Amino acid sequence: VYQVFENVAKKYDVMNDSMTLGIHRVWKDILVHKMNPCPGILLLDVAGGTGDIAFRFINYVRSVRQRQLQRKLKHHQNLSWQEIFESYQNDKFNNSLGDSQVVVCDINREMLKVGKQKAQHLGYSEGLSWVLGNAEELPFDDDKFDVYTIAFGIRNVTRIDLALQEAYRVLKPGGRFLCLEFSHVSNPLLSRLYDLYSFQVIPVLGEVIAGDWRSYQYLVESIRQFPPQEELKAMIEDAGFFKVDYENLNFGIVAIHSGFKL
């Protein structure tokens, strides 16, 4: 798995766009929307490599924070000068992220490097950390994070149950587990079209764009081998999560699973 992603790291984003015809951006947007984070949330993005989820999270939190500050200012129009002065001394005013933080964890150093470069390029400086780590054995303490996300990463984990247990461990009580992953299409017609596209088109794209047919062949096969929605839901429940459910996007091509540590 490591070598697959080493080859793939630099062209990862380009390949994503061409394979999914750009829809992967929408999927990731939907994931962050579902999360609905408020300022102050600590996010752990596992297998987050090039930082897509992290950047979207930061954008979302920033806009929520903006709205909060606007509301506070409107409220302030009725206060006395003394009270306004006192509130300016309050640190929270100066923080555009409201103390939110994202930790991006990936097993692959190359992916992290690309992610860091992207962050610099796009101008994301505060609230981001990049950590090298294995999803089956996370280098973090218990009860640390508010939200744990893993977007298109869990199918590459050898022991999914271990990854789920680690997710449970590092989440705070009340914390949320979110998993975005390719899943099974139940509609037979669509399923056939999807298979056709996956096996014929994607490896070819892989060869043409990234010069690597084998990795993308592996990708498509791993998608087929991944457990379907209900089975993954059962596995998440086994790890101890409550209120587990999933939302199919695009008829099951992709599914978002969500669970809470209660």
Partner 1 sequence: VRCQQYPPLRALQASAALRGASDEHKKEPWASSSQQHFESPPAGHQPEEKPQGPHPSYTGQGGQESEDYESEEQLQHRILTAALEFVPEHGWTAEAIAEGAKTLGLSVAAAGLFHSDGSELILHFVSECNTKLSELLKKEQKLVQLGEAEKKPVDEFLRDAVEARLRMLIPYIEKWPQALSILLLPRNIPSSLTLLTNMIDDIWHYAGDQSTDFNWYTRRAVLTAIYNTTELVMMQDSSPGFEDTWRFLENRVADAMTMSNTATQVQSTGEAVVQGLMGAAVTVSNAGTSRAVR
What is the contact surface with partner 1 in residues (CB under 8 A)?
Answer: 34-38, 40-41, 146-147, 165, 168, 171-176, 237-238, 240, 242-243, 258, 260, 262
- Closer residue to partner 1, CB minimum distance, 184 or 261: 261
> Please, what is the minimum distance in Å from the beta carbon of residue 174 to partner 1?
3
- Closer residue to partner 1, CB minimum distance, 109 or 172: 172
> Please, what is the minimum distance in Å from the beta carbon of residue 85 to partner 1?
21
Separation between Cα atoms, residue 135 and residue 165, nearest integer Å: 10
220 Cβ contact list (under 8 Å, min separation 6): 198, 199, 202, 203
Determine the angle formed by the axes of helices 23-35 and 12-20, rounding to 10 degrees.
100
Label residue 165 exposed, middle or buried (CB < 10 Å: 0-12, 13-18, 19+). Answer: middle
Asked whether 44 and 106 are in contact (CB, 8 A), the reply is no
Q: How far is CA 32 from CA 45, 129, 143, 180, in A?
A: 11, 18, 21, 10
Asked whether 232 and 257 are in contact (CB, 8 A), the reply is yes
> What CA dihedral angle connects 188, 193, 194 and 197, to 10 degrees?
160
2 closest CA partner among 134, 181, 180, 116: 134
> Please, what is the minimum distance in Å from the beta carbon of residue 175 to partner 1?
4
> Please, what is the minimum distance in Å from the beta carbon of residue 168 to partner 1?
7
> Please, what is the minimum distance in Å from the beta carbon of residue 101 to partner 1?
13
Amino acid present at 186? S
Separation between Cα atoms, residue 48 and residue 111, nearest integer Å: 8
Separation between Cα atoms, residue 202 and residue 72, nearest integer Å: 50
> Please, what is the minimum distance in Å from the beta carbon of residue 92 to partner 1?
14
- Closer residue to partner 1, CB minimum distance, 86 or 238: 238
> At 255, which helix (H) or strand (E)?
strand 254-260
> Please, what is the minimum distance in Å from the beta carbon of residue 39 to partner 1?
10
